[in-house]
Structure 1
Amino acid sequence: MALPPRRGPSLAHKARQRSPGHHYNASFLSSVDRADILTWLGGLHPLWEERYSKHFPPPPGQQQRRLLRPVYWLGNWQFACLDYYRPPKGVLNRCVKAEPFPAVLQRQVTKVEELARRMFRGPDLPKGWHLNTCLVNFYGSRLEEDRWVDTARVGEHKDFEPGPVASLSFGERALIQFVTSTRPGERDAVVLEQWLDDGSLELFGGKQWKEETFHRVQRVDTREGHDLAPKLPDFRTRRINLTFRYVPDVHVTPFAALSTEAREDVRGYMERLAKGSAFFRAELAREARPPAP
C-alpha cells in the first residue's frame, strides 16, 4: 500500500532551521505582548529618509533618492545620509542617540539576550554585547504619483554591527534568504530560507550568518490582508519588522555632540521627529543650551 503524501516542511528545510547560529521561533510573542507592541507601533511617526545629504552627496552619475520605505529607530538612529554604522572605520557621527525601548519591547529584548548568551560564545558574542539599537521597517506599497507600487523587499546586505542580530515580525509573513558569495558582485546559492511569521523571532549570529553570507527579504505575502497602523497618506503597511542589533555604547552620540556637518545633515529629520516625540524635542533643546562653565 502506498504511503500517504508527506505534508508540512521538508526534512531538508527542517535541517536548515536547525543550522547552528540560526534560531527561529514562530510563536515567540504572546498574544498580549503582540497586541501591546502593535498599539505602540501605531503611535509612531515614521520618517521618509533621503539617501544622501549636503555633506554626503550622491556618487558621480547618481541622483538623490528616497528610501524604499518609511523607517523608525530606537536606542540610536542610524540616518541613511550619515551612511549607517560601518566598523571598523565608519563609527563616528553615525549613531545618533534615540528613544529608549518601551517597556513591552524591553521585556522581549531581555529574553532574546538571554537566549543569545546561551547560543553564542567567544568572538561570536563581543564583550559588552547587548541589543541597544532597533530599526523599525515598514513594508508595503508606496504611492508614486497616482499609483501604488509594491516596495516590500530588501536587497542583499550584511549587518555590520558586531554580534548576534534579532528580529520580530508583525503582519504578513516574509521570505528571508541567506545567500553565499564567492566572487565580488555575484551571489551563488541560497543556503537557508525562512518564512518569518506574525509574532515570530529570528536570531542569527556567528561567522557563517554575519560574515560569509548575505541576507535579503525576497517578498512579503498579501494573503492575510493586513493593513497596519500607523496610517500614512503615501504608504500602506502590511508588515512591520523590528531588527535589534548592538552598537558599542561609546559610538552612540547625542545630537548635540555630533560634528557640525553631521548635525546640519540630520537637523531637518530631528525637527520632524520632535513634532511627535518629547525625547527628540529635548535633544534639540539640549543643543541650544550654553556649555556648562
Structure 2
Amino acid sequence: MPPPSRYGRGPGPKVRQRTPGHHYNGSFLPAADRAEILTWLATLKPLWEERYSKHFPPPPGQTQRRLLRPVYWLGNWQFACLDYYRPPKGVKDRCVRAEPFPPVLQRQVEKIEALARRMFRGPDMPPRWHLNTCLVNFYGSRLEDGRWVDTARVGEHKDFEPGPVASLSLGERALIQFVTSTRPGERDAVVLEQWLDDGSLELFGGVQWKEQTFHRVQRVDTREGHVLPPELPDFQTRRVNFTFRYVPDEHVIPFAKLSPEAREDVRPYMRTLAESSAFFRAELAREQSESNPSSPQTPAR
C-alpha cells in the first residue's frame, strides 16, 4: 500500500509537544526512507521466543509460554528467557551483541539523538547516552488452530534502559497509554494517551515517563488494511514498531562471553538466526573457536 501523501512534508500540524519529556511527530519519516525500511524488513526472519528456559524456568504455578509476537533486535539482543535488561542488578548476561543498524535506520537514529539532546538535560540525559539497541516488534494476528487471533497489544511495562526512549512506527496506527500505579498489580489513571501514526516518532524520557508511569499499547487499528513484510507462515503483520534505547556499552557482550548456562539457553535461537544472518554465524563460530582454540574457525558465508 502506498504511504499517505503527508509523508516527507515536514512537521506541519502533526508535530506537537504535549508536555515536558514527551514529544510526538506524526510525520517524522520521509517517504523514501519508509520505502527503504520496508525493503529491509522483507529480508528479516524474526524469532518466536519462549518466555522461559532450562536455567530460567517458569515461576511456581506458571507454564512455558511463547511471546505474543515475533521480534527482532539490533545492536544487542535481549532474550526473553534471560529476563531482558533490568538495572541496577539485572545487567549480567542480558544483552548479547547483535547486528548493527542498517544505514536507513542509522540515519533516523542520528536525527532522534540530536532532538533528544535538545530536549533532555542533567540526570535525564546520561553522559554517554546514545541509541545502541533497537527492539523490532511485529504487531498483528497469529494463526492458532486454523484461525487468526489478534495479538496486537502490549501490557503495562517500563523500559529500564537509562535515558530517553524513541519509538518509530510503521503501518496501522496504535494507541499507547501512560498509566500510573498506586498499588502493585493495579494501573489506575491514564496520564497520557497518543495515537501513533504510520511514519511517526514518539520520544519520551525523564522521571515522569520512565519511572513514575507504565506504558502499554492498548490496540492497533485495522482500518487502513496495512500488511507489512516479512511474510511469515503463521503471522500477519499490520504494524511494525522500532523501539530505540541505550544500554551502556560495557553491558553488551558477544555470545561467546555469556555464562555457560545463558549460552545453553539461547544457543537454539542463535542457530536459528545464523540460518539467515552472516553476523550470527560468525558469533557462533567465534564461540566454537574460543572454546576449542586448536580447531579452525568456520568462516561466515
Q: Which residue in 1 is equivalent to 2:57?
A: 57
What is the rounded CA distance, in whole Å, between the counterparts of 2:188 and 2:81 in structure 1?
A: 30
Counterpart secondary structure, 1:217: strand
Looking at structure 2, the residues matched to 98 and 119 of structure 1 have their Cα atoms a distance apart, in angstroms, of 29
> 1:263 is aligned with what amino acid?
R
In the alignment, is residue 255 of structure 1 matched against residue 248 of structure 2? no
Aligned-pair distance for 1:142? 0.2
Q: Note the 1:54-133 alignment, pairs <5 A.
A: 54-133=54-133
Matching of residues 167-206 of structure 1 within 5 Å: 167-206=167-206
The 2-side partners of 1:34 and 1:154 are apart by 24
User: Is the 2:72–2:137 Cα contact (8 Å) retained in structure 1?
Assistant: yes
TM-score by length of 2: 0.91
Query: Residue 39 of structure 1 corresponds to which residue in structure 2?
Result: 39
What is the alpha-carbon distance in structure 2 between the residues aligned to residue 271 and residue 185 of structure 1?
Answer: 37
| Residue of structure 1 equivalent to 2:8 | none
Task: Kindly report structure 1 stretches of 4+ aligned residues shifted beyond 6 Å.
Answer: none
One-letter code aligned to 1:257: K
**CA–CA distance in structure 1, aligned partners of residues 290 and 228 of structure 2:** 43
CA distance in structure 2 between the partners assigned to 1:290 and 1:225 by the alignment: 49
- Are the aligned partners of 2:177 and 2:217 in contact in 1 as well (CA < 8 Å)? yes
Residue identity in the other structure for 2:268: G
- Separation in structure 2 between the aligned mates of residue 23 and residue 104 of structure 1, nearest angstrom: 22
TM-score normalised by length of structure 1 = 0.93
- Conserved? CA contact 2:51–2:80, under 8 Å: yes
Q: How big is the shift at 1:17?
A: 4.7
Percentage of identical aligned residues: 84
Q: Distance in 1 between matches of 2:267 and 2:187?
A: 38
Distance, in Å, in 2 between the alignment partners of 1:162 and 1:201 is 19
Stretches of structure 1 lacking an aligned partner (at least 5 in a row): 1-13
Q: Distance in 2 between matches of 1:19 and 1:180?
A: 16
Q: Does 1:216 align with 2:188?
A: no
For 1:17 and 1:33, how far apart are their aligned partners in 2? 24
CA deviation map 1:211-269 (0-9, x unaligned): 00000000000001011110101000000000000000000010001000000000000
1:136 partner amino acid: V
What's 2:137 paired with?
Answer: 137
The residue aligned with 2:264 is 264
Is contact 2:256-2:290 (8 Å) kept?
Answer: no
RMSD: 1.3
| Structure 2 counterpart SS, 1:18 | strand
C-alpha displacement of 1:185: 1.6
**Cα distance, 1:132 vs structure 2:** 0.3
Q: State the distance in 1 between where 2:70 and 2:43 align.
A: 14
Q: Is the 8 A contact 2:171 2:239 kept in 1?
A: yes
Report the Cα offset of residue 187 of structure 1. 1.1
Q: Which amino acid aligns with 2:81?
A: C
CA contact (8 A) 2:96 2:255 kept: yes
Report deviation, 1:178.
0.4
Residue 19 of structure 2 aligns to a residue in which SS? Answer: coil
Q: Is the 8 A contact 2:168 2:241 kept in 1?
A: yes
Please give the secondary structure, in 2, of the residue aligned with 1:289. Answer: helix
Specify which structure has the bigger relative contact order, considering alpha-carbon pairs within 8 angstroms and separated by 6 or more residues.
Answer: 1
Alignment partners' CA distance in 2, 1:189 and 1:221: 23
Q: Describe the superposition over 1:24-75 as per-residue Cα deviations: whole angstroms up to 9, x where unpaired.
A: 0000010000110111011100000000000000001110000000000000
The residue identity in structure 2 corresponding to 1:99 is: E
Superposition deviation, residue 182 in structure 1: 1.7
Is 1:19 equivalent to 2:31 in the alignment? no
Measured in 1, the distance between the counterparts of 2:60 and 2:141 equals 29
- Cα offsets for 1:182-217 (capped at 9, x unmatched): 222211111110000000000000000000000000
Question: 1:160 — aligned with what?
Answer: 160
Name 1:11's counterpart in structure 2: none
Question: Per the alignment, in what secondary structure is the counterpart of residue 250 of structure 1?
Answer: helix
For 2:149 and 2:121, the matched residues in 1 are separated by 43
Is 1:149 equivalent to 2:152 in the alignment?
A: no
